[in-house]
Amino acid sequence: MSWITDVAPKIKTLFKRDAPDNLWIKCPDSGQVVFQKDVEANRWVIPGSGHHMRLSAIQRLTLTFDEGQWTDVPVPDGESDPLKFRDTKRYTDRLKEARTKTGLADAIKVGTGTVEGLPMTVAAHDPDFIGGSLGVAAGEAFIQGAETAIERATPFVAFTASGGARMQEGILSLMQMARTTVLIQRLRERKLPYIVVLTNPTTGGVTASYAMLGDVHMAEPGALIGFAGPRVIEQTIREHLPDGFQRAEFLKEHGMVDMVVHRHDLRSTLARLCSLLMRLPANGIGTTSDAPADDGSHHHEADRPAPSIEQSNPL
């Protein structure tokens, strides 16, 4: 055996540096390369370009609740593969991969806690769980979140990030559009605010149901929001779409979105809106810092009882 094949690989291994692969992030808009820790400290917004990076459901809940502390809401388990679906691989295998990747049971995570001192129930899509798609289990999670808000008399906030209904569950996934709508009506009957924060992307059956049924529709800058994608629309109508079509700012201009809110201002805006809609006194709202938790050590407290409020003056 020659020296090159025997000794050289050992020398290379000896001087190998253990450097993580995710030290740097490239901005999808500007191409700017930014240190990952700087982006994280900026609430996952690229400094300079202002591009809002996609967040996992856990990250979303952590950034929303005071001091990153929240109580997990257990959700019912949906049937794993009701249609025994298979395309290039089995649906059960796709679910296992998504659960391993995200650490979640399905595409929606629900938590309770306080936002600027105001008790709130929040549901968040995870775009990494099969595109944040809506299936039976995700529908059950949304319904459980709404029911928790009703039980605790808190506002209900939904952060949407989804490609739409999950094709592997067929008509059962489409049924979730109607089921979630029923719960939104129950929230309205109880005079509880239902706020939707549209993030990138929000499309398909989610847009066609609970994402567009909020009392107030907020959106993050640059978020893609629509039913069919721009490419499909262009091919269908055979016309060039205007610049910024289906983006948050375009939809605000045309009345489909009420406000476009930077991620740094989301918590304070949510607290102010909910306190106004519930006719709560202004004092005590906005007393906590909007900065993210300094360490990423942990994000929720399973044993802490969730705070509640008395709705003494309903709308």
Helix H or strand E segment including 95: helix 91-102
Pairing relationship of beta strands 108-115 and 156-162 according to DSSP bridges: unpaired
pLDDT reading at 9 higher than 70: no
Q: Which residues share a beta bridge with 219?
A: 198, 260
Distance CA 140, CA 82 (A): 15
pLDDT tens-digit map of 42-59? 999 999 899 999 999 999
Give the predicted TM-score (pTM) of the model.
0.83
- Please tell me the predicted confidence (pLDDT) of residue 298: 41
- Please tell me the predicted confidence (pLDDT) of residue 311: 39
pLDDT reading at 160 higher than 50: yes
- Please tell me the predicted confidence (pLDDT) of residue 105: 94
pLDDT tens-digit map of 104-126? 999 999 999 999 999 999 999 99
The percentage of residues in the chain with a pLDDT greater than 90, rounded to a whole number, is 76
Nearest to 139 by CA among 127, 153, 123: 123
Distance CA 258, CA 263 (A): 16
What are the CB-based long-range contacts (under 8 Å, 24+) for 21-28?
A: 25/53, 27/51
Dump strand ranges (E) for 190-271.
Answer: 194-202, 216-219, 259-260
Average pLDDT over residues 277-296: 57
pLDDT tens-digit map of 254-265? 999 999 999 999
Domain annotation for the chain: domains and CATH numbers: 36-278 (3.90.226.10)
Look at 229 and 146; give whichever has higher pLDDT. Answer: 146
| Token pair for 225 | 């929001």
pLDDT reading at 304 higher than 70: no
Distance CA 163, CA 227 (A): 9
